[in-house]
Structure 1
Amino acid sequence: MNKKITSTALATLMIAGSTSFSAFASMDIGTVVIGTKAFDLSYANDPVNAADISAAITAGGAVYIKDFNGKWVDNVSGATVNASVIPAVTYKNATGTTNYGVADTNTTTSTAATSSTASVTSASTFKVVFNGTVADTSKVVFTTKRGTTAIDMAVTWNASKTEAILTYASNLPVDSYTVNVVNNAVDFGTSTLAITQQKVAKISIIGDTLAVDPTSVSTAGVMVPGEGFVSYKVFDQYGVDITDSSLASSSNINWNSSIGETKAVNGLITIKSYSAITLLTQYTTAIITAIDSDSSLNASSTLKVSLSQGTIGNITLNTLTNADGKVLTQGDSVSKFYLDYTATDVSGNDTKSKRLLDKGLLDSDTSDADVINLYLSNPSLISAKLVEDPNDSSKAVIEVTPLENASTIYADTPIIITAMTKSGKSSSVTVTLKKATTLDSLAISLPSNQVAVGDTDVEVPYKAYDQAGKALTKYSEIVGSSITNSITNSNTILSATTGLQFTKNADGTLKITIDKIKAGTSVYQIVTKTGKNSMITVKAQDAGIPDALSIDTTSIKQYMQKDAIQKLDFGADAGGLSIKDQYGRAIDLTKSNIINGDKYSVRTSLAGVTGGVLNNYSTTTGVPFEEAYNGNQIAIHASKLGAQTVKFTVYKTAGATGITTATDITKSITFTVVDDSDIIDFQSATIGTLYAKSATTDGYAVDMPDIFGKLSSGTLVALADASVANRAVSNSSFKILNGKVYANTIADGTTAKGTISSSLYINGEVNTITTALNSSSVEPSATSVGVSVTAVNDKQGGVAGGTLAGSTTGVTISGDTITATPIAMQSLMNRSIYKFDENIPTNHGNVCFYALDQYGTKGSNLSFSKITNATGSPRTYAVDSATGILTSNGVVSGDTFTLTVVAPSGATKTVKFVVSNAQ
Structure 2
Amino acid sequence: MKKTNKALASLAIAGMALTVVPFNAFADNAVPTRLAGNTAAQTAAAIADQTGWTGTAILASSASYGMVDALTAGPLSSYLKAPILLTGPGNTLDSDTKAELTKLNVKTVYVTSGKAVISQAVLDQLSGMGINVVSLGGQDRAETSVNIAKKMVGVTKVAVANGLQDALSIASIASAANEPILLTDKDSVPSSVAAYLAANPSITSTDVIGGTGVISNAVAAQFPNATRHFGTTAYDTNNQVIQDFSSSLQFTNVYVANGQTGIDALAGAPLAALTKSPIVLTDGTVPAAATFVHSKLATGAVVTALGGAAVVSDSVRTGVLTGSAPNQGGPVAVTSVTAVSASSFKVQFTSAPADTSKVTFAVTNSGAPVTVTPTWDSSNTFVTLSGSANFPEGTYAVDVKNGDTDLGSSTVAITTQKIAKINITATKLAVTQATTGSGIGYATYTVTDQYGNDITSNYLANNIQWQCGVGNITTPSHGVLKVTPNGQNLLTFSTVVITGYDSTSGVSASATLPTSTAMGTLSSITLNKLTNVNNTPLRAADTSDTWYVDYTANDMSGNPTNDYNLVKNGLILTGTNSDQLSVSSPYVIAKVVQDPNDSNKAAIQVTVTTDTVQMDMPVTITAMSWQGAPSSLQLTLKKQSAVDTFTLEAPSYNIASGELKQIPFVAYDQDGKQLTKYSDIVGSSSNPIVTISGFGDPSTGAGFVQNPDGTASLYMRATNVTGNQSVPQILTANTSTGKFSSVTINVQPTAKADTMVLNSTSIINTLQAGANQRIDFGYNYGGLTVNDQYGRPMDLDTVTQTGNGYNYEVVAMTSATTGTAIQLQQLNSGENVTTSSPITYAIAGGGNGIEVLANPSLTDNSTVNRTQTVNFYLINKSDEANVLAGQTNLAIASSSMTFSVIKNKDITGYTIDKVANPIFAQANSSTSGAIYTHQQTDEAANPDIYGTTSGGSKVMLAPGFIEGVSVDSPNKFKAVTVAGGISNSTNAYDSVKVIGLPLDASLTSASTNLTVTLMGADGLIHTVVAPIASSTTSPVAKELDLNYDGTAGMHMSDDGTTLYIDNATAMATEFGSAANPVSLQRNDAYGAANAKDIYFYIVDSYGKKGMNVSNIFATDWQSNGVTRATAIANSQTTVSPLNLDATTLYATGAPGLVKNGDYVTLSAVTNNGLVKTVKIVRNYN
Contact in 2 for aligned 1:440/1:530 (Cα 8 Å):
yes
Structure 1 Cα separation of the partners of residues 754 and 454 of structure 2:
88
Structure 2 Cα separation of the partners of residues 160 and 642 of structure 1:
77
Contact in 1 for aligned 2:339/2:345 (Cα 8 Å):
no
Q: Kindly tell me the number of residue pairs found equivalent between the two proteins.
A: 755
Structure 1 Cα separation of the partners of residues 408 and 473 of structure 2:
55
Structure 2 Cα separation of the partners of residues 598 and 151 of structure 1:
70
Structure 1 Cα separation of the partners of residues 514 and 714 of structure 2:
76
Alignment of 1:664 with 2:890, yes or no, is yes
Match of 2:1059 in 1: 820
Structure 1 Cα separation of the partners of residues 384 and 1027 of structure 2:
54
Deviation at 1:290, TM superposition (A): 4.8
Aligned amino acid, residue 536 of structure 1: V
Contact in 2 for aligned 1:205/1:231 (Cα 8 Å):
yes
Aligned amino acid, residue 714 of structure 2: I
Structure 2 Cα separation of the partners of residues 577 and 243 of structure 1:
67
Alignment of 1:514 with 2:762, yes or no, is no
Alignment of 1:140 with 2:335, yes or no, is yes
Q: 1:538 aligns with which of 733, 745, 760?
A: 745
Structure 1 residue runs without a partner (length 5+): 1-7, 14-27, 36-60, 72-76, 83-103, 106-111, 219-223, 256-260, 760-765, 800-809
Aligned amino acid, residue 139 of structure 1: V
CA distance 1:436–1:682, change in 2 (3 Å): farther
Q: Secondary structure at the match of 2:1030?
A: coil
Contact in 2 for aligned 1:503/1:510 (Cα 8 Å):
yes
Q: 2:841 aligns with which of 598, 610, 626?
A: 626
TM-score by length of 1: 0.59
Alignment of 1:459 with 2:662, yes or no, is yes
Contact in 1 for aligned 2:812/2:850 (Cα 8 Å):
no
Structure 2 Cα separation of the partners of residues 674 and 640 of structure 1:
9
Match of 2:51 in 1: none
Q: 1:383 aligns with which of 578, 590, 596?
A: 590
CA distance 1:379–1:869, change in 2 (3 Å): farther
Deviation at 1:882, TM superposition (A): 7.5
CA distance 1:383–1:828, change in 2 (3 Å): farther
Q: Secondary structure at the match of 2:1108?
A: coil
Match of 1:126 in 2: 227
CA distance 1:419–1:9, change in 2 (3 Å): same
Q: 1:798 aligns with which of 1049, 1054, 1059?
A: 1049
Q: 1:447 aligns with which of 642, 651, 654?
A: 651
Q: Secondary structure at the match of 1:535?
A: strand
CA distance 1:881–1:775, change in 2 (3 Å): farther
Deviations, residues 186-242 of structure 1 (Å, cap 9, x unaligned): 999999xxx999899x999947xx9997787x8xxxxx5x85979798999x99999
Deviation at 1:751, TM superposition (A): 1.7
Structure with greater helix share of residues: 2
Deviation at 1:132, TM superposition (A): 1.4
Match of 1:804 in 2: none
CA distance 1:861–1:493, change in 2 (3 Å): same
Structure with greater strand share of residues: 1
Structure 2 Cα separation of the partners of residues 541 and 113 of structure 1:
87
Match of 1:742 in 2: 992
Q: Secondary structure at the match of 1:653?
A: helix
Structure 2 residue runs without a partner (length 5+): 13-36, 41-61, 68-86, 95-167, 170-209, 237-327, 349-376, 502-506, 722-726, 827-833, 856-863, 925-930, 968-974, 980-984, 998-1005, 1118-1123
Match of 2:527 in 1: 317
Deviation at 1:416, TM superposition (A): 0.7
CA distance 1:490–1:319, change in 2 (3 Å): same
Contact in 2 for aligned 1:127/1:165 (Cα 8 Å):
no
Deviation at 1:400, TM superposition (A): 1.9
Deviations, residues 144-163 of structure 1 (Å, cap 9, x unaligned): 89xxxx99885598999999
Aligned amino acid, residue 742 of structure 1: V
Contact in 1 for aligned 2:568/2:592 (Cα 8 Å):
no
Structure 1 Cα separation of the partners of residues 39 and 510 of structure 2:
51
Within a 5 Å distance, the mapping from 1:512-661 to structure 2 comes to: 512-515=714-717, 517-519=719-721, 521-528=728-735, 531-552=738-759, 570-571=777-778, 576-590=783-797, 591=799, 599-603=807-811, 621-622=836-837, 624-630=839-845, 631=848, 633=850, 640=865, 646=871, 648=873, 650-653=875-878
Contact in 2 for aligned 1:685/1:705 (Cα 8 Å):
yes
Deviations, residues 714-753 of structure 1 (Å, cap 9, x unaligned): 797988x8xx696244765577663333357899643233
CA distance 1:878–1:377, change in 2 (3 Å): farther
CA distance 1:398–1:125, change in 2 (3 Å): farther
CA distance 1:529–1:162, change in 2 (3 Å): same
Deviation at 1:444, TM superposition (A): 2.7
Match of 2:1165 in 1: 900
CA distance 1:161–1:122, change in 2 (3 Å): farther
Aligned amino acid, residue 479 of structure 1: Y
Query: Which region of structure 1 is more displaced relative to structure 2, 121-130 or 297-306?
Result: 297-306
Alignment of 1:832 with 2:1083, yes or no, is no
Contact in 2 for aligned 1:445/1:462 (Cα 8 Å):
yes
Contact in 2 for aligned 1:126/1:166 (Cα 8 Å):
no
Deviation at 1:574, TM superposition (A): 6.0
Match of 1:418 in 2: 622
Structure 2 Cα separation of the partners of residues 653 and 297 of structure 1:
94
Deviation at 1:429, TM superposition (A): 1.5
Within a 5 Å distance, the mapping from 1:215-614 to structure 2 comes to: 251=467, 254=469, 287-288=494-495, 290=497, 315-321=525-531, 331=542, 337-342=548-553, 361-365=571-575, 367-368=576-577, 371-385=578-592, 397=602, 399-403=604-608, 406-408=610-612, 414-421=618-625, 425-433=629-637, 440-455=644-659, 457-471=660-674, 477-480=676-679, 488=685, 493=690, 497=695, 498=698, 499-503=701-705, 510-515=712-717, 517-519=719-721, 521-528=728-735, 531-552=738-759, 570-571=777-778, 576-590=783-797, 591=799, 599-603=807-811
Contact in 1 for aligned 2:589/2:607 (Cα 8 Å):
yes
Contact in 2 for aligned 1:316/1:427 (Cα 8 Å):
yes
Within a 5 Å distance, the mapping from 1:718-867 to structure 2 comes to: 727-729=961-963, 738-739=985-986, 740=988, 741-742=991-992, 749-759=1007-1017, 772-774=1024-1026, 776=1028, 778=1030, 782=1035, 785=1038, 789=1042, 798=1049, 810-812=1051-1053, 814=1055, 817-821=1056-1060, 831-837=1078-1084, 839-851=1087-1099, 854=1102, 858=1104, 860-862=1106-1108, 864-865=1110-1111
Structure 2 Cα separation of the partners of residues 167 and 122 of structure 1:
27
Deviations, residues 648-685 of structure 1 (Å, cap 9, x unaligned): 46254289x99998763355657778898999666767
Deviations, residues 127-151 of structure 1 (Å, cap 9, x unaligned): 4345513489972345789xxxx99
Match of 1:3 in 2: none
Contact in 2 for aligned 1:641/1:672 (Cα 8 Å):
no
Higher gyration radius (CA): 1
Within a 5 Å distance, the mapping from 1:3-152 to structure 2 comes to: 115-117=213-215, 126-130=227-231, 132-134=234-236, 139-141=334-336
CA distance 1:206–1:324, change in 2 (3 Å): farther
CA distance 1:788–1:235, change in 2 (3 Å): closer
In percent, how many aligned pairs have the same letter?
18
Structure 2 Cα separation of the partners of residues 530 and 121 of structure 1:
81
